[in-house]
Structure 1
Amino acid sequence: MRRLPPVRQIRQSLPVRITVLMLVIVTVVMTVLSVFVATHVRDGMFEERLKQILADSTQRVDWVQTSFNRSSLESVDQVQDLAYQLMVEQREASSGVGGIGVMLMRDPNSTSTNVINAVVDEQLAPVITDDLRAKVREAGGNYWQSVSIPTAAGDQPGIVVGSTIELPMVGTYDMYLVYSLAPEERTITMINQILAVGTVGMLIIVGILMLIMSYRALLPVRRAAHAAEQVSLGNLSVRLQIEGEDELATLGNAFNDMTSHLQRQILDYRQLANLQQRFVSDVSHELRTPLASIQIGADIISSDLDELPQHLRRPAKLMGEQVERFSDMLADLLEISRVDARTARVEHEHTDLVALVTQVCAMHAQIIERAGVEVRITAPETGVEAAVDRVRVERVVRNLLLNAVEFSEGNPIDITLAQTATSVAIKVRDHGVGMTDEVASRVFDRFYRADPSRQRTTGGTGLGLAISAEDAQLHGGILTVLSCPQAGSSFVLLLPRFADREIDELPRAVYDDDIIAARARWARTHPGDVDTTVGVSETTGRDLGTFSDEALADEDDEVADEVGGDESDGAEDGEERT
């Protein structure tokens, strides 16, 4: 099983996210608590130790001063000896309360001419700074200061207490007592370690408990999510097992009720759809017999049209046209009913597509002439041939042609044919009103009309493009559209060239560089109408992603190099027919 990255795992797993959030909260709380406890203990121990040190230092300074006052000294040497002796005694006596040194230094402001040597511990001498001596003289009594005491094992925290004493015959001297706080530091370190270990242990315990609890608590939610996935795949028979009477049980009951309701509704819709399909199919088949009789009568009347009275000729002609239109509409309804019933079949036969397109244009020459448009057919000199269902392809071309005539606004219509080793393409390009992307995304829907107020001039049921898309899909191809408002539309029918081979190479005709450029210009002033952020292959095709990625990549590179350049490739090695 592939392991997810930590961040993605946290985002996709609610138990993990809850556990991580709880661990963060516990970590913050324990950190604040540990800092508070450590600080409080440290400050309390320091204050208590400071009181003890000040009391001890005061007692020893008083003892030294009393000893000098009571002594009967007759010379400076005797003062020197007594001073040394007292400093040694006090150092040994203060060791019980953490004292590590006692020093005696002459007051720099003393005016006595008699001087004794200072009693100094060379290892502790650096802690007696000039600033400390100046503060002792200013205080006029006991003055303490926190210092860092250098030792062989490293610096240790300590306190120095300085006081002034009067020595016989030699004047004022400063007495400094040095106390170590190393035991207190070790105690605080031990407390911090205990707090750290306790915090880590608590985090582990809380993390495990939260993961287990959240996993078990969210088990119904995971079951619901899995059931929802099954419903999204179409399995409406899935149901949740209900346990308890809490909110999750309420959710499970609601889910089960929803799936049951959906199952009943979809069953009803399917039955209704089947009835509608059967109705359309039955009505269409039943109408064929009376329509055939009517059409025979209309043909007989049309054949004797010149013998009719003048005032009956036009109604007879209109009746013939409407009967023909009704026949086409009935054929569309029958075809869409076959598609819905999945009974439509494709009969492949070798077909000359250039001749087929030319024939379709000739069959509708009157409509084209009446609309005042020019149809230009461009195809390779070698022709375009493929194994297709001739009837279906002819219907697709007819629908695309009549649709282009309807919306060309009198501008020319270009029909381009092209082929590769595995595919053929027929592109119908008009230069009319065009469409926005929203309209283009729905143009293959049944009965959809982009502008309901627009009056049709070529008739139809509104099923033409929908049936054309189905015909293309039955062949294993696609019908795509690329359009731009006021620049026209380009419909491309892309089909496999052979019935037993898939498309792995796209003809150059599926691309429309002029429409792509027009879309880019239109998007500058109408950004909501077209989307120019997608690639060439995506804008060209409705579903080109179903074909070979390598073929699309090669064609995209080709188009990217040629957009805005020479656009004569579509007619290269070809001829134009009208």
Structure 2
Amino acid sequence: MKPLAWRTYPGRLLRLWRTSLQFRTVTITVVLSGVAVLAIGSYISVSIGNQLFAAKSQQVQDDARSAHNLAQDVFDSAIPTSADAGPTVELDTLSITAQQKILSSTSNPGNTALEILRTPGQSTPQIMQSTSTSDFPDVVSDALRSRVTADPSHVQLQSVALPDGSPGIVVGSRVTVQSAGYYELYLVYSLKDEQNTLGFVLQTLLLGGLALIVLIAMVTWVVVRLVVGPIRTAAETSEKLAAGQLEERIPERGDDVIATLARSFNGMADSLQQQIVKLAELSRLQQRFVSDVSHELRTPLTTIRLAGDVLYDQRESFAPSTARTAELLHTQVERFEVLLADLLEVSRYDAGAVELEFEPTNLVRLVEEAVDSMTPLAEGRGSSLTVVAPGGYFEAEVDARRIRRILRNLLGNAVEHGEGKPIVVSVDSNATAIAISVRDHGIGMTALEASRVFDRFWRADPSRQRTIGGTGLGLAISLEDATVHEGWLEVWSEPSSGTCFRLTLPRERGRPIAASPLALEPAIEGDADD
């Protein structure tokens, strides 16, 4: 697997690009600097190359004019021989002498070659052979010869590539030889020295550009580190503050902008800490007050309960109005006891003092027990309770007491608002979760009402009286019970179509829920008939 480790580099670089401001800034600076250095270096290299070529071209043209004049002088001073004698030794020797003089007159004889060619298409006898230096390259083109023939009064120039790969310049002109007609003088100049000079300049520009980019990267890294360091410290301090470590602060150094930011941040943290501590103290006092009141009310409530039970047991001997009063007293005392119990439970959740007792529980059996306990009440309201459990993994690690309380609250709510229609309790599970849904076909709720159904002491219709004796905290406590199990308690409802509450719990503690095995919304509207 090690040879394939390079495949992870793009992902690592992308992750580093997203998470590191310092890496992003340095990379952007290096790339832009590289583009700028490349553009400037290209311009400088092209400019230097053009200047070297222009200077060499001017020098070559000057040398060519001098060589032309020298060659013409040499041939003009020659003593012509008879035209019938053929090529003479004097003229051949004279051409060799002209070669030596012409080459010695150039600025760089070692890198210059010479060739003398007879102009074609002449009627005069050829009394002097064409000649060239031994190292003359075959680079004279027909186009250049045509230009020399067409414009003999000027020196003609052409760029060529020499056999050794180096660039060169060919310069041509026409000279006149008495009794022999016209001959063409060609000089080939090598630009190898200029090419080496340009290569050295390019190498210097490349090394200087790389050194400049590295220097810019180092300077950028240092500058960004000076800026990003305090920002990273502020981010880490913010995370610690968010985690509850309210005493954390950013170190303050100097009087620059970063120090001002640190002082402002610390001032904000001090203010937040004071407010949070104050709110926490108020919340603690409130929770303590609720807990103390609940406990203190239990003693007089117990006395009232005992007295009420005595009156309730003897209600048949009382007058009808007194008997009714005894029954109301008994009912309200029971509701008061339930309300005190719910308030104590809410105070425990607010204080974060809830402890769960997990145990493997068969939720189908738990649902059946809850349904059996609510059946008499449902039948009294004209509703039937049906349990649907298709089979599967129904056992889960839960606090059975709290889940039973959730079921009682959901079933009581369904009976209260089901309007005497059937109530269906479904249980199903998958590999990661188990779900219980309670579906009634009663009055239902609007979307706004459904969004507030878990609020404490909230009722969709305040004028509607509770007939089961709920305290208004049942669904709020049920949501807390589901949350502490790391589960979900959700609701779907539509006016005149009923309501469905779905409780989804993880099968194992600490294992996340992938998906609920039960649908929250009904597959077909009006499924009460089904």
Instruction: Decide: shared fold, TM above 0.5.
Output: yes
> C-alpha separation between the residues in 2 aligned to 1:382 and 1:53?
99
| Cα 1:142–1:99 shift into 2, 3 Å | farther
Q: Return the offset for 1:109.
A: 4.2
> C-alpha separation between the residues in 2 aligned to 1:280 and 1:249?
46
Please tell me whether the aligned partners of residues 432 and 489 of structure 1 are also in contact (alpha carbons under 8 angstroms): no
Please tell me whether the aligned partners of residues 158 and 171 of structure 2 are also in contact (alpha carbons under 8 angstroms): yes
Aligned pairs for 1:355-434 (under 5 A) are 356-362=369-375, 364-365=377-378, 369-370=380-381, 372-378=382-388, 392-405=402-415, 408=418, 411-417=421-427, 426-430=436-440
Q: Return the offset for 1:190.
A: 0.6
Please tell me whether the aligned partners of residues 375 and 413 of structure 1 are also in contact (alpha carbons under 8 angstroms): yes
SS at match of 1:242: coil
More deviation, 18-27/38-47: 18-27
Which of 48, 69, 74 is 1:41 aligned to? 48
Q: Return the offset for 1:245.
A: 0.8
Q: Return the offset for 1:7.
A: 3.9
Please tell me whether the aligned partners of residues 354 and 383 of structure 1 are also in contact (alpha carbons under 8 angstroms): no
Please tell me whether the aligned partners of residues 99 and 179 of structure 1 are also in contact (alpha carbons under 8 angstroms): yes
Please tell me whether the aligned partners of residues 65 and 166 of structure 1 are also in contact (alpha carbons under 8 angstroms): yes
Please tell me whether the aligned partners of residues 353 and 384 of structure 1 are also in contact (alpha carbons under 8 angstroms): no
Which of 67, 70, 82 is 2:94 aligned to? 82
Equivalent position of 1:481 in the other structure: 490
Q: Return the offset for 1:176.
A: 1.1
> C-alpha separation between the residues in 2 aligned to 1:399 and 1:377?
16
Matched, 1:67 2:84: no
Matched, 1:136 2:161: no
CA RMSD of aligned residues (A): 4.4
| Cα 1:45–1:413 shift into 2, 3 Å | same
| Cα 1:436–1:179 shift into 2, 3 Å | farther
Please tell me whether the aligned partners of residues 70 and 102 of structure 2 are also in contact (alpha carbons under 8 angstroms): no
SS at match of 1:224: helix
> C-alpha separation between the residues in 2 aligned to 1:217 and 1:389?
52
Equivalent position of 2:4 in the other structure: none
Q: Return the offset for 1:177.
A: 0.9
TM-score computed with the length of structure 2 as normaliser:
0.78
SS at match of 1:144: strand
> C-alpha separation between the residues in 2 aligned to 1:383 and 1:96?
99
Q: Return the offset for 1:478.
A: 3.8
> C-alpha separation between the residues in 2 aligned to 1:110 and 1:447?
123
| Cα 1:120–1:315 shift into 2, 3 Å | farther
Matched, 1:172 2:172: no
SS at match of 1:173: strand
| Cα 1:433–1:142 shift into 2, 3 Å | farther
| Cα 1:337–1:454 shift into 2, 3 Å | same
Deviation string, structure 1 residues 277-297 (Cα, Å, up to 9, x no partner): 122223333444555566567
Please tell me whether the aligned partners of residues 418 and 426 of structure 1 are also in contact (alpha carbons under 8 angstroms): yes
Q: Which consecutive unaligned segments of at least 5 residues does structure 2 have?
A: 1-7, 526-530
SS at match of 2:108: helix
Which of 150, 153, 171 is 2:163 aligned to? 150
How many residue pairs align between the two structures? 504
Equivalent position of 1:238 in the other structure: 248
Equivalent position of 2:115 in the other structure: 103
Deviation string, structure 1 residues 498-537 (Cα, Å, up to 9, x no partner): xxx959899x9x612584867xx9xxxxxxxxxxxxxxxx
Deviation string, structure 1 residues 372-399 (Cα, Å, up to 9, x no partner): 5432124589998999876544422210
Q: Return the offset for 1:70.
A: 2.4
SS at match of 2:475: helix
| Cα 1:295–1:64 shift into 2, 3 Å | same
Q: Return the offset for 1:202.
A: 2.4
Which of 509, 517, 525 is 1:511 aligned to? 517
Matched, 1:201 2:211: yes
Structure 2 letter corresponding to 1:412: P
Please tell me whether the aligned partners of residues 479 and 494 of structure 1 are also in contact (alpha carbons under 8 angstroms): yes
Please tell me whether the aligned partners of residues 428 and 517 of structure 2 are also in contact (alpha carbons under 8 angstroms): no
Equivalent position of 1:9 in the other structure: 16
> C-alpha separation between the residues in 1 aligned to 2:157 and 2:56?
12
Please tell me whether the aligned partners of residues 347 and 388 of structure 1 are also in contact (alpha carbons under 8 angstroms): yes
Deviation string, structure 1 residues 126-158 (Cα, Å, up to 9, x no partner): 31111222222333321111111112xxx1111
Q: Return the offset for 1:405.
A: 3.6
> C-alpha separation between the residues in 1 aligned to 2:449 and 2:169?
87
Please tell me whether the aligned partners of residues 103 and 109 of structure 2 are also in contact (alpha carbons under 8 angstroms): no
Which of 254, 276, 280 is 2:290 aligned to? 280
| Cα 1:422–1:281 shift into 2, 3 Å | same
Please tell me whether the aligned partners of residues 146 and 160 of structure 1 are also in contact (alpha carbons under 8 angstroms): yes
Deviation string, structure 1 residues 60-93 (Cα, Å, up to 9, x no partner): 1111112222222114523444334423442354
Equivalent position of 1:547 in the other structure: none
Please tell me whether the aligned partners of residues 439 and 498 of structure 2 are also in contact (alpha carbons under 8 angstroms): no
Equivalent position of 1:228 in the other structure: 238
Structure 2 letter corresponding to 1:360: S
Matched, 1:214 2:224: yes
SS at match of 2:248: coil
Q: Return the offset for 1:186.
A: 0.4
SS at match of 1:178: strand
More deviation, 388-397/429-438: 429-438
Please tell me whether the aligned partners of residues 437 and 500 of structure 2 are also in contact (alpha carbons under 8 angstroms): no
Please tell me whether the aligned partners of residues 112 and 190 of structure 2 are also in contact (alpha carbons under 8 angstroms): yes
| Cα 1:31–1:473 shift into 2, 3 Å | closer
Equivalent position of 1:568 in the other structure: none
Q: Return the offset for 1:239.
A: 1.7
> C-alpha separation between the residues in 1 aligned to 2:162 and 2:368?
107
Equivalent position of 1:21 in the other structure: 28
| Cα 1:514–1:481 shift into 2, 3 Å | closer
Q: Return the offset for 1:31.
A: 2.2
Structure 2 letter corresponding to 1:512: L
> C-alpha separation between the residues in 1 aligned to 2:48 and 2:512?
80
| Cα 1:197–1:467 shift into 2, 3 Å | same
Equivalent position of 2:5 in the other structure: none
TM-score computed with the length of structure 1 as normaliser:
0.73
Matched, 1:492 2:468: no
| Cα 1:413–1:124 shift into 2, 3 Å | farther
Structure 2 letter corresponding to 1:25: L
Q: Percent identity?
A: 34
Deviation string, structure 1 residues 105-140 (Cα, Å, up to 9, x no partner): 222343435464322458645311112222223333
Please tell me whether the aligned partners of residues 119 and 182 of structure 2 are also in contact (alpha carbons under 8 angstroms): yes
> C-alpha separation between the residues in 2 aligned to 1:390 and 1:99?
103
SS at match of 2:170: strand
